[in-house]
């Protein structure tokens, strides 16, 4: 709706003009040395993966946000969120409207009892961290982690926010755009949800490892390889399996040693020779001399005095 000067509202600015303005703001920030991370949406759907779509669905499930969320969707789709940073319990965003506005969102850390309950219910149902973060999990796990008020996603009472715009509403369209921007960012970096709530996703696997998998003893748990784990966290993880010491009770023979001995023994037998063993030959000689001495002693042969 277009407002005149009597309503003290700024005139409507077309979408194309706003996009150009946002692009100029981003370019200016980059020239000033600021590292910006804009939210880029392809197509009409803000989020397409499990975690991103579940985040947006959680926001829309609360009537507290129903009035302002539609304007926020419009803003994030046209590229107005020119910078979005997600940290532990905090989201900071720059949203380009009539001016450039700063948005700060605080989200409470997930309660320890609630996190323990989520891990307990999911134990034995998740095979790997890759599976968890990609959203390739069972419907039972999905119901647990997305449960309204009990899962990983925050309720309105756990969210507080502020914006530098003059809008007096409890949630302005700039805050709504930043919240939708979080959903779009979770499409590419789902682990940021756990960072935002102050928990570690690997703890869900630790809980799963302490309980047997459903399906009996014959089923094996999937183990993450080092390269898979590195791809999730973006760090190099050294493989220490080669440094595991041998078990006690004997020295591990070098490769090819037993095969070489068998080959040498077979060659000697084929040539009519027996494998030489100094200790064995000496022991046999001593035993033979002892038997001869005892025989001479029994029959009284000379040389026994």
Q: Note the pLDDT tens digit of each residue in 263-275.
A: 555 555 555 545 4
Whole-angstrom Cα Rg for the chain: 37
Strand 81-87 relative to strand 100-107, pairing: unpaired
Residue (of 170, 194, 171, 146) closest to 75 by Cα position: 171
pLDDT digits (tens, 9 = 90+) for 119-166: 999 888 888 888 888 888 888 899 999 998 899 999 999 999 999 998
Q: Tokens at residue 112, please? A: 């320890």
Is the entire prediction scored with pTM above 0.75? no
Q: Give the residues of the chain that fall short of pLDDT 70.
A: 1-19, 207-305
Joined together, the tokens standing for residue 114 give: 């609630």
List, for residues 154-169, the tens digit of each pLDDT value: 999 999 999 999 887 7
């Amino acid at each position: 709706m277009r407002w005149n000067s009597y309503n003290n509202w700024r005139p409507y600015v077309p979408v194309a003009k706003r996009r150009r303005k946002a692009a100029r703001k981003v370019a200016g920030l980059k020239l000033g040395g600021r590292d910006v991370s804009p939210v880029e949406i392809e197509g009409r759907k803000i989020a397409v993966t499990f975690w991103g779509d579940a985040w947006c669905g959680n926001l829309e499930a609360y009537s507290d946000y129903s009035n302002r969320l539609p304007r926020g969707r419009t803003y994030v789709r046209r590229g107005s969120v020119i910078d979005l940073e997600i940290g532990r319990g905090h989201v900071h965003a720059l949203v380009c409207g009539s001016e450039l506005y700063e948005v700060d969102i605080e989200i409470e850390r997930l309660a320890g009892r609630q996190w323990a309950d989520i891990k307990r219910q999911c134990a034995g149902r998740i095979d790997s961290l890759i599976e968890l973060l990609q959203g390739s999990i069972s419907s039972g796990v999905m119901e647990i982690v997305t449960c309204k008020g009990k899962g990983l996603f925050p309720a309105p009472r756990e969210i507080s926010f502020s914006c530098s715009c003059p809008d007096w509403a409890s949630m302005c369209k700039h805050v709504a755009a930043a919240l939708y921007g979080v959903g779009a960012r979770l499409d590419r970096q789902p682990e940021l949800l756990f960072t935002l709530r102050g928990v570690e996703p690997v703890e869900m696997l630790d809980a799963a490892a302490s309980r047997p998998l459903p399906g009996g003893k014959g089923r094996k748990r999937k183990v993450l390889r080092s390269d898979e784990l590195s791809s999730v966290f973006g760090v190099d993880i050294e493989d220490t399996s080669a440094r595991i010491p041998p078990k006690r009770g004997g020295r591990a023979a070098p490769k090819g040693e037993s095969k070489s001995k068998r080959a040498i023994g077979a060659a000697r037998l084929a040539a009519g020779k027996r494998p030489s063993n100094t200790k064995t030959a000496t022991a046999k000689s001593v035993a033979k001399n002892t038997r001869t001495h005892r025989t001479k002693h029994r029959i009284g042969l000379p040389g026994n005095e």
